[in-house]
């Protein structure tokens, strides 16, 4: 964003510092300034998309959390709206934590977690109602409507909400929590009016989960329970974020059936995004056209002093369209609207086979890359992004298949994403990745979106979100390689991506 586009905020030194940061994304949503974490209150209301988010306008640290708000008519360009919720006295005096928006007979209603550690160890359930365009909110005078966890359990934390209405019109919600020594838990409540809540019991606990899947953590944050269309009544999907004694580990999902009193899983817990904490606390909503659309929070991977100097922290992922594949695994793709940001027809890069390497003539720190081909047993397809001309800096994405064709694995190597790092520099360069689904004939469909420090990778629908901070100005190249007999990249296209213009940021 150029300084002139900041309009009324151009004299705001903090905002200026943030927008001049070369690592700040241009077509992903970031807060006007300060700190952003979870997406909240996602909905399409009267045709308009609403993105609320955990926000600290006063600095790039997790403190004094507000609900920031932005709207969009195309899921690509976002307009800042006034802050929706700010901490006040009482239940949320130290933060308006995560939550959702439901339609209560025409009244937009926020269900969120009030944070007030002075009043007790855990969070509470609070509500607020909004005006017709969701820009002005009033908190319920009787907050909190659930003052704490059910008695008789030694809980770790207690927060975050997923709601639905049953056929009889009764509201249900699950709240995320953990029971010491037992693991994560979802507590189930019901209500006729969103205000008087009855505790129904535990809806799912760590003990109900078949072992051997992704580690589900000791506390489950941000439960998101939704139904995706499949044959018959559809498949219920439960997403939550695994938290372990203060550490935000990773988002996971489990499929099964939303029972009246319990969630009945039919799978193990699986990783949702191999970027782990870089796609944390996701939330989703159903758009008017029926698509289930999910956003997640990409945490920073640079040291605290660099974050403080930059003046901002946290990126919202692109909105992702979720479906299930034949194996019953979640498949994610950036919503089709994202393509509107592609500049021109894109560069068609020549196809390559085993032992070949190609460099795109298109360069940049805002790119959309598609690479399709065949991965044979023992083969590897690689995309190098943010690559400097001498290769001193490069971020490497590979998809490799074992020699026996048993497993295809996606990997992200960030060890050389930045070349000026000493050991202990505080940049997170941990290798990320995991197995992906692949058909018997080895078809691979790779998409990589590069937006300054933000990286979203989709390999046969398996996402991996991460952050990289190159130090070299020429770390803008894209190269691709293929190895292994029978492996090929037949279709490679590279687009530069436009900035998602935002006329004036409102803090």
The residues binding ligand FRU (CB under 6 A) are 37-38, 54, 65, 97-98, 113, 159-160, 221-222, 248, 280-281
CB of 123 to ligand FRU, least distance (A): 7
Rounded-to-integer distance, Cα 163 and Cα 271, Å: 23
CB of 62 to ligand FRU, least distance (A): 6
66-72 and 48-56 as β-strands: parallel, antiparallel, unpaired? antiparallel
Rounded-to-integer distance, Cα 204 and Cα 174, Å: 9
Give the DSSP H/E element, type plus range, for residue 307.
helix 304-310
Rounded-to-integer distance, Cα 26 and Cα 497, Å: 9
Q: Which residue has the tokens 């044959």?
A: 231
Rounded-to-integer distance, Cα 442 and Cα 32, Å: 43
CB of 294 to ligand FRU, least distance (A): 15
Looking at the Cβ atoms of 87 and 463, the one nearer to ligand FRU is: 87
Looking at the Cβ atoms of 144 and 477, the one nearer to ligand FRU is: 144
CB of 207 to ligand FRU, least distance (A): 22
Rg (CA), the chain: 23
* Phi then psi dihedrals of residue 203, to 5 deg: -90, -35
Looking at the Cβ atoms of 100 and 269, the one nearer to ligand FRU is: 100
CB of 152 to ligand FRU, least distance (A): 23
443-451 and 432-436 as β-strands: parallel, antiparallel, unpaired? unpaired
Rounded-to-integer distance, Cα 60 and Cα 35, Å: 4
Q: Which residue has the tokens 């990997």?
A: 411
Tokens read off for 444: 């691979």
Looking at the Cβ atoms of 224 and 365, the one nearer to ligand FRU is: 224
Tokens read off for 5: 């586009």
Looking at the Cβ atoms of 226 and 280, the one nearer to ligand FRU is: 280
CB of 267 to ligand FRU, least distance (A): 24
Tokens read off for 471: 């130090």
Looking at the Cβ atoms of 111 and 432, the one nearer to ligand FRU is: 111
Q: Out of 21, 38, 80, 428, which one is annotated catalytic?
A: 38
DSSP 43-92: EEETTEEEEEEEEETT-SSS-SBEEEEEEESSSSS-EEEEEEE---SSTT
- Report whether 36 contacts 316 (CB < 8 A): yes
Looking at the Cβ atoms of 98 and 387, the one nearer to ligand FRU is: 98
CB of 449 to ligand FRU, least distance (A): 23
Confirm whether 208 is a catalytic residue: no
- Report whether 248 contacts 280 (CB < 8 A): yes
Nearest to 381 by CA among 329, 431, 448: 448
Which residues are designated catalytic?
Answer: 38
């Amino acid at each position: 964003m150029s300084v002139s586009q900041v309009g009324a905020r151009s004299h705001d030194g903090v905002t200026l510092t943030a927008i001049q940061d070369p690592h700040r994304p241009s077509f992903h949503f970031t807060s006007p300034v300060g700190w952003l974490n979870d997406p909240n209150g996602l909905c399409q209301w009267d045709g308009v998309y609403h993105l609320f988010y955990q926000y600290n306008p006063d600095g790039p640290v997790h403190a004094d959390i507000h609900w920031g708000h932005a709207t969009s008519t195309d899921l690509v360009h976002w307009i800042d709206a006034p802050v929706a919720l700010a901490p006040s006295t009482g239940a949320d005096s130290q933060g308006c934590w995560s939550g959702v928006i439901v339609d209560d007979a025409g009244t937009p209603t926020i269900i969120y977690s009030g944070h007030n550690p002075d009043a007790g160890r855990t969070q509470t359930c609070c509500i607020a109602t909004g005006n017709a365009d969701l820009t002005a909110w009033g908190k319920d005078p009787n907050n909190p409507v659930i003052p704490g966890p059910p008695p008789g359990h030694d809980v770790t934390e207690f927060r975050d909400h997923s709601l639905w209405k049953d056929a009889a019109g009764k509201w249900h919600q699950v709240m995320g929590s953990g029971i010491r020594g037992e693991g994560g838990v979802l507590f189930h409540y019901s209500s006729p009016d969103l205000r008087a809540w009855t505790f129904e019991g535990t809806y799912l606990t760590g003990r109900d989960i078949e072992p051997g899947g992704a580690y589900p953590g000791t506390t489950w944050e941000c439960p998101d329970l939704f139904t995706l269309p499949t044959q018959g009544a559809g498949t219920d999907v439960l997403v939550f974020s695994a938290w372990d004694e203060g550490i935000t580990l990773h988002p996971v999902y489990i499929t099964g059936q939303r029972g009246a009193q319990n969630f009945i899983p039919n799978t193990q817990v699986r990783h949702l995004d191999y970027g782990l904490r870089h796609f944390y606390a996701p939330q989703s909503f159903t758009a008017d056209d029926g698509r289930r659309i999910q956003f997640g929070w990409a945490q920073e991977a640079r040291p605290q002093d660099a974050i403080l100097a930059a003046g901002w922290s946290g990126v919202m992922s692109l909105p992702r369209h979720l479906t299930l594949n034949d194996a019953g695994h979640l498949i994610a793709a950036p919503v089709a609207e994202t393509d509107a940001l592609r500049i021109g027809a894109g560069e068609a890069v020549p196809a390559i086979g085993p032992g070949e390497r190609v460099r795109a003539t298109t360069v940049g720190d805002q790119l959309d890359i598609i690479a399709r081909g065949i991965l044979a047993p023992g083969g590897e397809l690689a995309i190098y992004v943010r690559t400097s001309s001498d290769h001193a800096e490069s971020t490497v994405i590979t998809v490799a298949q074992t020699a026996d064709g048993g497993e295809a694995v996606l990997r992200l190597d960030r060890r050389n994403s930045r070349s000026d790092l000493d050991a202990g520099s505080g940049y997170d360069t941990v290798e990320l990745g995991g197995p992906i689904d692949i058909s018997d004939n080895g078809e691979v469909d790779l998409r990589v979106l590069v937006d300054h420090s933000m990286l979203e990778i989709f390999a046969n629908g398996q996402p991996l979100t991460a952050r990289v901070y190159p130090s070299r100005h020429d770390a803008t190249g894209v190269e691709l390689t293929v190895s292994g007999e029978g492996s090929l990249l037949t279709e490679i296209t590279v687009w530069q991506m436009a900035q998602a213009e935002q006329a004036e940021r409102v803090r």
